[in-house]
Structure 1
């Protein structure tokens, strides 16, 4: 079941603050992050690399917008994409695992969704976003969201929730 988030669209200042917080927590823990992004198009990687000193805790980012890129760069099985579609729990979980396997990171986050304005369906309307967070120990967490708003709003909310998920994971 999708988690319907109240429409709180983070502005640039809020996104920058989240990225700084993620960097502080990762640096303090001596951990490195990799991202695997589809609908956000590298925005999360841009946010974290805007933070001075991010080379100490950001390992790499994969922008895998097409299904072929998901397969080639992250090792997402073609069968998963055919059976479930790119915007699905199995695919986003495989993206997060692939980012870890193809990097030297300790943690990864992955995002795939329908940012709009087109591309939605009855089963996956515009605003549907799957996120996954994975750790080097093999454990992963996935969550589905439905964000309101236009393309920019959906992508901003997805980036914020992705970063908040790293903070939540590391505060346990």
Structure 2
């Protein structure tokens, strides 16, 4: 189900590519609880690329650490495109990074609703001189670990797409 070695290899390649281009990364994570930051920083030499990671599991942390507006959290909920984009923008603004990626979702096993089921994950992406982007995924409910793994795979893909186009 999960191939951690392949994720580590993808992270190694990404860190190398970002280092070659002297691009720094920040992360803002909710449902993954810092797993993306952990994956990226397992790579030797990642300190040349990885600026910082924010684990903003609670709404208060999202607001206090990276400036997600309370009205967005109240109006749309933590698991929304609006909050994912605000998390990415906030991490970008509150860091020395050139790019920031955010992850917020429902990993389960509970917490899902009809409108926001377990497996719903939103990703935000903010980069210098670019409009903040968003991707929504509804992952198969393969359990908490499986959903978090799928979110890591998607986050790496977002970073890979960025580096391929820059």
Structure 1 length-normalised TM: 0.93
RMSD: 0.9
Check the 8 A contact 1:10/1:160 in 2, yes or no: no
Match of residue 99 from structure 2: 107
Structure 2 Cα separation of the partners of residues 66 and 141 of structure 1: 22
Q: Which among 51, 57, 61 is matched to residue 53 of structure 2?
A: 61
Aligned counterparts, 1:14-163, within 5 A:
14-148=6-140, 149-163=142-156
Structure 2 Cα separation of the partners of residues 62 and 46 of structure 1: 11
Match of residue 6 from structure 1: none
Structure 2 length-normalised TM: 0.96
In the alignment, structure 1 segments of 5+ residues that lack a partner are: 1-8
Query: Deviations along 1:18-41, whole A, 9 cap, x unmatched?
Result: 211210110111100000000000
Check the 8 A contact 1:18/1:160 in 2, yes or no: no
Match of residue 158 from structure 2: 165
Number of equivalent positions: 164
What is the CA-CA distance between 1:10 and the residue it aligns to? 3.8
| Greater relative CO (CA pairs within 8 A, separation 6+) | 1
